Amino acid sequence: MFGNLTPLEIGYFLIALLISMVIHEVMHGVTARALGDTTAADMGRITLNPLKHIDVVATILLPLLLVILGQTPIMAAKPVPFNPSRVKFGDYGAALVGLAGPVTNFVLAIIGSILIHLASGNLQVATFLLLFIQINVILMVFNLIPIPPLDGSRAVYALAPESVRRVMERIESMGFLFLLVILLILFQLPGVANGIGSIEQSVYNFVIAL
């Protein structure tokens, strides 16, 4: 989705990325609180302050490096904590908390599409909004990959048999670095990279056409 960005566009990219990730994480916390778990609220994570959500490596350095190299960026903020045992509806409630992030990114992409049609006469605003839409589409699709601890795994976990759940729990316990290694390997496979890229492009085309 990203070609060679100018220094100004990289600045736009970072701003749009921070806005999108912060709102994504906040909505996890808001949804968890609505379902009865106040963990995120108690830890001060239901806030628009980006400093509360930034992981320097995963949020800024990694996606920026991949964009500079012309690759699809892998993006992650500091996860908002929640206690699945405290939310209503059990595993289905936990799935709703997980899916709140990608759904939020989809809504943000739609808002960006509406705004870009209103600001078509301003090149710089349109450039920012195009990056904003692209980032939110990537965040949505990326987070729906059903590998723990990504958001999509929560929905799979709610429906999976016990044997699959145990495997997913073991993968999640290995942390983000293990996930990153898996994803970097998977993204080197043409079928996987092209498949994810095709999904992102289809969603982007749908949103931009609204």
Alpha helix (H) residue ranges in 53-89? 62-68
Burial of residue 171, with CB atoms counted within 10 A of its CB: 0-12 exposed, 13-18 middle, 19 or more buried:
middle
Catalytic site includes residue 162: no
The rounded distance, in Å, linking the Cα atoms of 30 and 33 is 5
**Residue 130 corresponds to which tokens in the numbers above?**
């195009």
Which residues, including other chains, have CB under 8 Å from residue 198's CB and lie 6 or more apart?
A: none
The answer to whether 11 touches 68, Cβ cutoff 8 Å, is no
Sign of CA dihedral 31, 153, 105, 70: positive
Select which of 9, 25, 162, 169 is catalytic: 25
- Of 117, 114, 47, 42, nearest to 78 (Cα)? 47
Catalytic residue positions?
A: 25
